[in-house]
Structure 1
Amino acid sequence: MEQVDLPTPLGDLAVRAVHDRHAAERLMAGVRGLALRYGRVRLARFGAEDLAQDVAQEVCMAVLSALPTYQDRGLPFEAFVYRIAANKLADAQRAVLRSAAPVADVPDSLDERPGPESQAVTRAEAALALELMEHLSEQQREIIILRVAVGLSTEETAASLGMSPGSVRVAQHRALQKLRSLMAERDTSDVA
C-alpha cells in the first residue's frame, strides 16, 4: 500500500524552522501561499496583483525575522501570519490610495495571459462578490475572507478573530445566507 505524506502544519514547521533550513523553506512556501490568497482578496478592488505578490513577500520576510523569537502560545501559527498580513495589507492599501496610477508599456512580445473579455468577466464577478460582501458586517466579511479565500479552518479563523469556533460557524452560516438572499434579489431585479 502506498504511503501518503500529509502536509506538516505551519506551527510544527515554525518550531523546526529555527534550526532546519528545509523546514524553513517549507514554512515560507506555506506562509507565502496563505498571505498571497489573503492579499489577492483584500486588494482585488484595486486590481493590484503585483501588490499582492509584494505584500506576500513582505509577510514572508516579517515572519522569517520573527521566527527566532516566536513562542507558541496555543494559537495556530496561521493566526500569527494572518495578523502580520493584515497589518502589511493595511499599509499597502493606504499606499495604493495615495499613489498615482502607472501607465502600461507597449509589450515586446505576444501576451499569453487571458484576454480582455476574460479579464472583464473575472473582474465583474469579483466586483459583484465584493459589492455583495459590503452588505455584511465587518466581522462577517473577515470570516468569509479567511474561510473561503485564505482557506483557514474554523478553529484557525476563530483564533485569528478572538472568537469561539461555534461563533465562527454561526456567523459564517448567516453571512452566506445573507449573500444568497442578496444574490437572489439581484437576479430577480435583473430579470424584471
Structure 2
Amino acid sequence: MDTNTDRNDVEDEEAMIALAKKDLQHFEPIYNRYYESIFRYVFRKTDDEDVAADLTSKVFMNAMNAIHKFEYRGVPFGAWLYRIAANEANKYFRESKRQLLALEDHKVRMVMNCGNLEEADAEQKQKVLAELIRELDDEEIQILELKFFENKNFKEIAFILEKKESAVKMKMYRSLNKLKERYEKMNKLGDD
C-alpha cells in the first residue's frame, strides 16, 4: 500500500471515531469495519461460535462505553479493539476454567510450513507441533496467534498485551526457538 492510502485510511478512521465520540449512533461504521476480524480472533481462541459471538458483542459494548477514552498512540484503533477482545477472552477462560488454546489444523500447518510435505508427514508434524504448542504459556500462545494468524506487527501486539515491544519480540523469538528445539528433539527420538 502506498503512504497516501494509509494516511487516508487513518484519517477516515479518525473521523469515524470523532463522530462516534460525539454521538454513539455513529459507532455503526466502526462496528461494521472491525466486527469480522474481532469475531474471527475470538472464535479462534474459543473454538465455539456462540461464545465467540457473545464475547465479540461484549468487546463492542465495552468499546462503545469507553470510546471517549480512546486516543491515538501510534497504533490503529483496531489494536485497541484487539486488546479489549484479548481481555474478554482471558476473562472468559478464567471464569470458565477452560484451556486458552484452540488452534486449528490449518494454523499448525501454517506455522510449520508443511505445504510441501507428503500428507502423512504433514499430519504427523501437525500433531507433534500441536503437542508442543500446548507446552507454551498463555502469553507465548497469544503472541504467536497475534503475529502469525492476525498479522499484527510487534507494536500492535505490545499494545494489545500491554507489554513493551522489545519484550514481545524477545518472547516470540524465544517461543519459536523453544518450539524448534523441542520439535528437533522429538524428531531425533522418533528416528532412534
TM-score normalised per structure 1: 0.62
- Shift of the 128–26 alpha-carbon distance from structure 1 to 2, 3 Å rule, reads farther
The number of residues matched between the two structures is: 164
After superposition, residues 1-192 of structure 1 pair within 5 angstroms as 6=6, 8-9=9-10, 12=14, 13-18=16-21, 24-43=27-46, 47-67=47-67, 69-72=68-71, 74=73, 76=75, 77-93=77-93, 96=96, 129=129, 131-190=131-190
* Residue of structure 2 in register with 1:111 after alignment: none
Shift of 1:138: 3.8
Q: Which has the higher helix share?
A: 2
Shift of 1:65: 3.2
SS of aligned partner of 1:18: helix
Q: Aligned partner of 2:157: which letter?
A: T
Contact 2:128 2:183 in 1 (8 A): no
Q: Aligned partner of 1:149: which letter?
A: F
In 1, the alpha carbon distance for the partners of 2:127 and 2:159 equals 29
Q: Aligned partner of 1:74: which letter?
A: R
Gap regions ≥5 residues in structure 1: 99-119
Contact 1:17 1:23 in 2 (8 A): yes
* Superposition RMSD in Å: 3.8
Contact 1:133 1:141 in 2 (8 A): yes
Contact 1:79 1:160 in 2 (8 A): yes
Contact 1:11 1:78 in 2 (8 A): no
SS of aligned partner of 2:174: helix
**What do the CA deviations read for 1:150-169 (whole angstroms, capped 9, x no partner)?**
33221111122333323322
Gap regions ≥5 residues in structure 2: 99-103, 110-125
In 1, the alpha carbon distance for the partners of 2:71 and 2:169 equals 25
Contact 1:63 1:81 in 2 (8 A): yes
In 2, the alpha carbon distance for the partners of 1:123 and 1:75 equals 29
Contact 2:155 2:165 in 1 (8 A): yes
In 1, the alpha carbon distance for the partners of 2:177 and 2:107 equals 23
Q: Aligned partner of 1:28: which letter?
A: Y
In 1, the alpha carbon distance for the partners of 2:184 and 2:90 equals 32
Shift of 1:123: 9.9
Give identity over the alignment, percent: 21
Contact 1:51 1:92 in 2 (8 A): no
In 1, the alpha carbon distance for the partners of 2:189 and 2:26 equals 53
In 1, the alpha carbon distance for the partners of 2:138 and 2:108 equals 22
Higher relative contact order (CA 8 A, sep 6+): 1
